[in-house]
Chain A
Amino acid sequence: MKRRDALAATASLSVGLGLLALVRPASATPAEMAAAINTFTGGAAPQTGKVTFDVAQLIDNGNAVPVTISVDGPPENVRAIAIFTERNPQTEVAIFTLSPRSGRAAVSTRIRLATSQRLMAVARMSDGSYWSHGVDVIVALAACIEGEAP
């Protein structure tokens, strides 16, 4: 009942994540993403290249964003693929560990994005080098507040 009154007071279409997400935690920062990447690479600076971060530029809904990361060259040279975000509450998304039996250095998943931001994919190679690809994406939020979940 209280929520209905609050809605009545507002009386406008609001852009937002709905009343279930009243508290927005602080987001990560570019510096935090850089630090997380540094931890992954053990201090080595990743070079740009070899990695392709395939994601739509304009995203329907930040709750489930399909992504595919692939790495050029012989797949047995790719040890791991990591995904980072700049402005999610937490910058690390996932680290995928490949093996010489992988056959193809590509992985797909669906990730959450809290807002429009920069994403980075970093690949760890067997020779100790690191390669990366950064993309900028725009995240649309749902237009209508939905009320209580069933």
Chain B
Amino acid sequence: MARALIHMPSNAKRGDVIEIRALIGHPMETGYRVGADGKLLARDIIRSFVCRYNGEQVFGAELHQAISANPYIAFFTVATESGTLEFDWQGDNGFAHAEKMSITVSAA
């Protein structure tokens, strides 16, 4: 279920430090669990998460199996100018999901 929710302010003053909270639906199958049929369930995880602010990366994450199912990541960035924040998740089995959020940044 590749549903993602991003919580962040839509407006900010230049220089404000804003918190971004990103939640995505993904089982993050570790590859260590055994299914009901006794067979190992293959690893299937999100491996990377990147946030770009008007094209420039401001935050990145390399994820391993110990990140919980339906990964939640909260981080900060400085509101510098109006524009678009892009969020990219990529993982095993060609998993890729992207979200975009707009921000309006007014003079301090």
Give yes or no for direct A-B contact (beta carbon below 8 Å): yes
Query: Which A residues contact B (CB, under 8 angstroms)?
Result: 19-25, 63-65, 68, 75, 83, 85, 88-90, 92-99, 101-104, 106-113, 148-149
Task: Give the residues from 7 to 63 in chain B that come closer than 8 angstroms, CB to CB, to chain A.
Answer: 17-19, 30, 32-36, 38, 40, 53, 56-63
Q: How far is the CA of A95 from the CA of B49 in the complex (A)?
A: 10
Across the interface, do A101 and B75 meet the contact criterion of CB distance under 8 Å?
no
* Given A94-B61, A101-B58, A102-B58, A111:B76 Cβ within 8 A: no
In the assembled complex, the CB of A70 is this many whole angstroms from the nearest CB of chain B, namely 10
* Contacts across chains A and B counted by CB atoms under 8 Å: 112
Across the interface, do A102 and B74 meet the contact criterion of CB distance under 8 Å?
no
Across the interface, do A109 and B71 meet the contact criterion of CB distance under 8 Å?
yes
Closest 6 CB pairs of A and B: A103-B17, A97-B60, A104-B76, A103-B78, A108-B74, A110-B68
Q: How many residues of B contact A (CB 8 A)?
A: 35
Please name all residues of chain B whose beta carbon is closer than 8 Å to the beta carbon of A108 when the two chains form the complex.
Answer: 72-75
In the assembled complex, the CB of A149 is this many whole angstroms from the nearest CB of chain B, namely 7
Q: Is B107 an interface residue (CB 8 A)?
A: no
Partner of A20, one of B33, B66, B71: B33
Q: How far is the CA of A107 from the CA of B40 in the complex (A)?
A: 32
Partner of B36, one of A64, A85, A94, A149: A149
Please name all residues of chain B whose beta carbon is closer than 8 Å to the beta carbon of A110 when the two chains form the complex.
Answer: 67-68, 71-72
Across the interface, do B67 and A93 meet the contact criterion of CB distance under 8 Å?
yes
In the assembled complex, the CB of A9 is this many whole angstroms from the nearest CB of chain B, namely 18
Across the interface, do A109 and B73 meet the contact criterion of CB distance under 8 Å?
yes
Across the interface, do B64 and A96 meet the contact criterion of CB distance under 8 Å?
no
